[in-house]
Amino acid sequence: MQNRHKTIVVIGTGGTIAGTAASAADHTGYTAAQINVAQLLAAVPTLSGQPLEVLQLAQVDSKDMDFGVWRALALAVDQAVARPEVAGVVITHGTDTLEETAWFLQAVLAPAKPVVLTAAMRPSTALSADGPQNLADAVAVAAWPQARGVVAVLAGRVHGAADVRKAHTYRVDAFDSGDAGPVALVEEGRLRILRPWPQGPATGVQSLLALEPTAWPWVEIVTSGAGAQARAVQALVRAGVRGLVVAGTGNGTIHSALESALTEAQGQGVTVWRASRCGMGPVLGDHPRGWPSAGSFTPAKARVALMLELMRA
């Protein structure tokens, strides 16, 4: 059963779902973030008459997502879920950085109501645009009383914030949840639950949203591979980086030259975490240098998690 009499707040941030192209046959040569979220909702007839409240918070291609938008988005979501008449929140977003935004919001807010990110792989002008159905499914999930926390809804699948990742460059079913699998499926506007709904506490940095984004810790990703060198790490340390996530080969293994540079960086106060450049699987086992594993997080998501960890320090 859905909370059809309670308000769903729909927040627009841009992305492909709001993009346009000169031709309906063009799925890649479009310009993102061109139409507003009210127009997106108007294109979904099944949402007509539902109690929706619209906020256009940003209009960006998500490859250009920045911490200023994240901060404003987190504050807007926090205010929305605090209102008793609001059942949940839907956020329209670009696909490129959706997984990072999802984890950021979950880690900072751990909302007690559903916060649902949705997106599209094809622009709004495409002959077979995927945005309208994704948006309708997202509203259905946001109205489900048992849902809580941050999830992503795309191609009929509900993904938890900790697990969701973009796994394909152009397919409409580009997202998956790694080994965990999706939380649920959306079928004809109803949810079929596949595994326990993910829960997770906030990291305790919500109060730090008062900080200007320029004060947030600087964390970068370096990648290990054949012929890896120390110079990139050394340059980042000289420039003042606070944390480094190394996208290692296989089970988080690191080229010896890069490992030496990371050891020097650690000695200068830089925090080092290990992730894998593989698309699936966690990083298992301890490292002799004591560098923590990022678990099943993608390097991009691990970068966000490390930034938040440094904000707690």
pLDDT of residue 218: 98
- Domain extents for the chain? 7-193, 217-312
CA angle 102, 253, 308 (to 5 degrees): 30
Segment 239-258 shows an average pLDDT of: 97
Distance, in Å, from the CA atom of 149 to the CA atom of 141, rounded to the nearest integer, reads: 11
pLDDT at residue 229 greater than cutoff 80: yes
Does residue 109 surpass a pLDDT of 60? yes
20 is catalytic: no
> What tens digit of pLDDT does each residue of 291-307 get?
999 999 999 999 999 99
Classify 7-193 by CATH class. Answer: alpha beta
| 7-193 and 217-312 in the same fold | yes
Site of tokens 């595994």: 195
Residue with more model confidence, 302 or 312: 302
Total number of residues shown for the chain:
313
Q: In this structure, is the dihedral angle defined by the CA atoms of residues 233, 237, 240 and 241, taken in order, positive or negative?
A: positive
SS3 239: helix
In the predicted structure, residue 96 carries a pLDDT above the cut 60: yes
Angle between helices 67-81 and 98-109 (to 10 degrees): 50
DSSP for 69-104, please give it. HHHHHHHHHHHHHTSTTEEEEEEE--STTHHHHHHH
Q: 2.160.20.10, 3.40.50.40, 3.60.150.10, 3.10.20.90: which CATH number matches 217-312?
A: 3.40.50.40
307 forms beta bridges with: none
pLDDT at 1: 53
Q: Select which of 13, 16, 92, 95 is catalytic.
A: 16
**d(C-alpha 22, C-alpha 72), whole Å:** 32
In this prediction, residue 235 carries a pLDDT of 98
**DSSP string spanning 95-162?**
STTHHHHHHHHHHHH--SSEEEEE--SS-TTSTT-SHHHHHHHHHHHHT-TT--EEEEEETTEEEETT
pTM for this one?
Answer: 0.95
Average pLDDT score, the chain: 95
* For residues 174-179, average pLDDT: 97
